[in-house]
Amino acid sequence: MNFDSTLSFNIARRLSPERSGAWLSDGPKGAGLGFGSLSLHDAEDPLAEAESWVDKAHLSRPDRKPSLALVFGLGLGYHLKALRRRYPGLKLLVFEPIAELKSFYDQHKVMTDFDGETPEVYLDWLEFEKRVSREVVYGQDDSVAVVAPEGYKSLRPEAYGAFASFIEQELIRRSVIEKTRENSAGAFLNNLAANVGHLADLPDLLLLKGFLPTRPAFIVGSGPSLTKNARDLKGLNNKALIIAAASALKPLLAEGVSPDLVLALESSDTS
């Protein structure tokens, strides 16, 4: 997956180095925006420039119209307007790395009520991560567009690199989940059909709600670090609730750890 993380910003568009903070410039087709010595929106034709960024947007499913866009940087919102023009109703999640530019956007944004719902804007990276994971990994969006204005890549290259890597990681997670569903759907349905008659006789899981209000819990999955971490769980029985995936059961027992609950998550016996 290529997010074009190279800094392709045109040096000729750098402005006088003594400038600091955010600033506006007048142009024939709209206001330009800069920060420090970098131009973020070209005042000559900022909307056309933004449309070129949309042309280069990464689409997770190029064969489908995106229903979600993940954007690095607000600017004045020209690229958000261009995205909504091309994909009406598109959901917009934006990470803005500079608080001052968020304030500038609020005062001078080019987005109007005619451009649809207000974009969701995040200044806190952890909050943005949580929101993106909910939408990308577990949401219903078939295709995702990823957009980053060229100036922002140069303005905060490390933040952009983290943004691009995180989005790539979450799209891979989504792909794995979709493949699992595709390959295992039949087995899950067969298992459900074979056991549906027993479900009514089982106690409701909600009966456990509030049963151990002060006891810490550990959820254990299988993985390369399990052997090491299993040793740390020794002696915690009767002091903590240990919940394990079935694939983690044998390694835990080998280390003398007896889980309180074991969950069978696979469609077939792989453990």
Section 140-169 average pLDDT: 93
CA 253 to chain centre: 36
So what's the pLDDT on residue 188?
A: 78
- What is the distance between the alpha carbons of residues 60 and 77, in angstroms, rounded to a whole number? 22
Banded model confidence at residue 215, pLDDT cuts 50, 70, 90: confident
- What is the distance between the alpha carbons of residues 174 and 141, in angstroms, rounded to a whole number? 10
- What is the distance between the alpha carbons of residues 226 and 93, in angstroms, rounded to a whole number? 35
Mean pLDDT taken over the chain: 86
Give residue-wise pLDDT tens across range 95-120.
999 999 999 999 999 999 999 999 99
- What is the distance between the alpha carbons of residues 237 and 244, in angstroms, rounded to a whole number? 13
Dihedral angle of Cα 133, 137, 141, 146, to the nearest 10 degrees: 60
pLDDT beyond 80 at 159: yes
Model pTM?
A: 0.69
Percent of the chain with pLDDT over 90: 54
Give residue-wise pLDDT tens across range 66-75.
999 999 999 9
Neighbours of 21 (CB within 10 A): 11
pLDDT beyond 60 at 13: no
